[in-house]
Chain A
């Protein structure tokens, strides 16, 4: 097989067209979002990003409350999902007996296949009432002096959205983490154990050396899903455009406001403001991924130097 084989060349060119097609689509999407949001960008400028008001009647728009809601709900989701997912990945890969491995892994990964509207319905009918009566109400009563847990308790809230999101992103982080753990050569694990290391030391050393960048990558994958999740979030977050410190209070996210208001939005400026929220979400995801790539790169280089 030489490189000049015409079939090879054809194959190479075809795949190149596909690759550039994807790139072209992303650029096109960005250009379209910018074009459609121009009226809003011209009217509000940078203040769009730092204004809390969202008033469709007076046509006065700012995205700050939605940006805050998206970031905080995703942050809560990561806070809960990462330890759970990484912990269960370690258990499944390192400790679980063979007969338990497959069913647990299968069921955990099955969570990824459930449509988000099902998560939303489950959130409304099961998660929110349970959280409200058994977690939020007692917490607000006894810990209400902490600003994060201040009442009154309604049910739909930033916390409910964060918890629901965490359940939705666990399978992604879990399965990638398992792949990463599986790449560790067993000879290294055995080496640590043979030197008298405990299981805990083995996992700490092996993960510290090998797996942190991969698990970080898995986390970013989960974050990407959490930032953009729409349906399930809008069903439990309370859809209140406000910035309230307490996680028991309702909030709003960027994806949710687009889903809620786009169909009935009339008027050029209103539509443009909604599209601009889409643009901000696009850029936020872009920046998060770019930052993740950069951090990952420095991690990998540090890890490889460590060995």
Chain B
């Protein structure tokens, strides 16, 4: 009895092994045709990228994208080490990081995001007006109460409570924080000198929440709280957002239109390497706290097939792909920027041969 059981088990194993071996031989011709391009980086554009990869792979059978949203810092690390075919980041690489790269890289802008300043004040709907210096002083801890005359002066029709302002910010390193502190640095020389800009900074005051959901949690749970989250996150969760005074003196709510306006205003000054920051952009309808997000692609590709696939994909992404931006609450790239990006894509090459 035992013996027969043993032989059955052995037989089953052998059969499985055979089946596996056969399966592999059947699968291999299909695998030879398919190509997988790997990438890693920013979490902020991940919903857009996964939509792009899905749509593009559907119309290009045999091509697969494997994107891991491990964060902008991770994306920069991985593309520097060459473990992925492309990186993605919400913050442009700085000179130190560029110096460590094995070769020249392109920052390919893909979408524009904005950061909304959200608050929790009973009976005060979206649209509380804040100026640049007031926002800076709230995050410095100098303006401590909501009924501070400096806030009240912009909001004569609103009855502001005498409660404490509970400041909240991201506790994890993030591109959102980078854009937000970049804005505070742009509008305040003191902030730039004392705190500065980065994915994590030494905050003068405030509670830290992990992720957009962490900050949103603090803001929603705490009466009198203020915080900042990605625009898409604020819109999806119907959070009350502040209207910020822009360069021209208008109070502007964060929306897709005001984000695009900021991008259009800044497009004229777009540098050749696209490492542009979009904060406090000119234009009467421009919203202040915006930023680009980039894919990081080496100019000199090491693999012709993968390089070719990536360039073809990027050509599609900056044109047809842009139509998917707005429904997912990302602002599309302005036309003049698309033209400029196209010129960069023509320079991506394999051993001197353009892959465009």
Contacts and interface: CB of A to CB of B under 8 A. Distances in A.
Interface of A: 53-58, 124-125, 128-129, 132, 152, 154-156, 234-235, 238-241, 250, 252, 256, 259-261, 263-267
Contacts of B208: 238-240, 250, 252, 260
A263 B70 contact: yes
Nearest to A270: B200
A79 B356 CA distance: 67
Contacts of B196: 57-58
Interface stretch (B47-55, B169-177, B253-261): B169-177
Contacts of B210: 234-235, 239, 259-260
A87 B220 CA distance: 37
A124 B217 CA distance: 7
A156 B207 contact: yes
Contacts of B206: 240
Nearest to A156: B207
B202 A56 contact: yes
A265 B173 contact: yes
Contacts of A128: 221
A55 B199 CA distance: 11
A240 B173 contact: no
B334 interface: no
Contact of B202 (A57, A235, A256): A57
Contact of A238 (B70, B174, B200, B207): B207
5 contacts: A56-B202, A57-B195, A125-B217, A252-B208, A263-B74
B170 to A, nearest CB: 9
Contacts of B195: 57
Nearest to B208: A239
B222 A56 contact: no
Given A261-B172, A265-B200, 6 more contacts: A53-B202, A55-B201, A57-B195, A155-B222, A238-B208, A264-B73
Contacts of B201: 55-57
Contact of A260 (B164, B166, B172, B221): B172
A263 B71 contact: yes
Contacts of B172: 259-261, 263-264
B202 A239 contact: no
Given A58-B196, A240-B207, A266-B76, A261 B173 contact: yes
Contacts of A265: 73, 173, 200
Nearest to A60: B202
Contacts of A154: 166, 207, 222
Contacts of A266: 73, 76-77, 97, 199
A155 B221 contact: yes
B251 to A, nearest CB: 28
A54 B204 CA distance: 11
A238 B164 CA distance: 16
B97 to A, nearest CB: 7
Interface string B200-219: 11110011111000100110
Nearest to A264: B173
Nearest to A124: B217
**Most chain A C-beta atoms within 10 Å of own C-beta, residue among B171, B173, B214, B217:** B171
Interface string B57-93: 0000000000000111110110000000000000000
Contacts of B77: 266
A267 B197 contact: no
B96 interface: yes
A128 B206 CA distance: 17
A275 to B, nearest CB: 14
A264 B207 contact: no
B207 A56 contact: no
B198 interface: yes
A202 to B, nearest CB: 47
A256 B210 CA distance: 10
**Most chain B C-beta atoms within 10 Å of own C-beta, residue among A124, A129, A152, A260:** A260
B137 to A, nearest CB: 18
Given A124-B217, A156-B207, A235-B214, A263 B173 contact: yes
Given A154-B222, A267-B96, A260 B171 contact: yes
A184 to B, nearest CB: 45
B327 to A, nearest CB: 28
A149 B202 CA distance: 26
A239 B221 contact: no
**Most chain B C-beta atoms within 10 Å of own C-beta, residue among A55, A57, A125, A261:** A57
A129 B207 CA distance: 15
Contact of B218 (A53, A54, A156, A234): A156
Nearest to B172: A260
Contacts of A267: 96
**Most chain B C-beta atoms within 10 Å of own C-beta, residue among A234, A256, A261, A266:** A266
B97 A239 contact: no
Contacts of A124: 217, 221
Contacts of A240: 203, 206-208
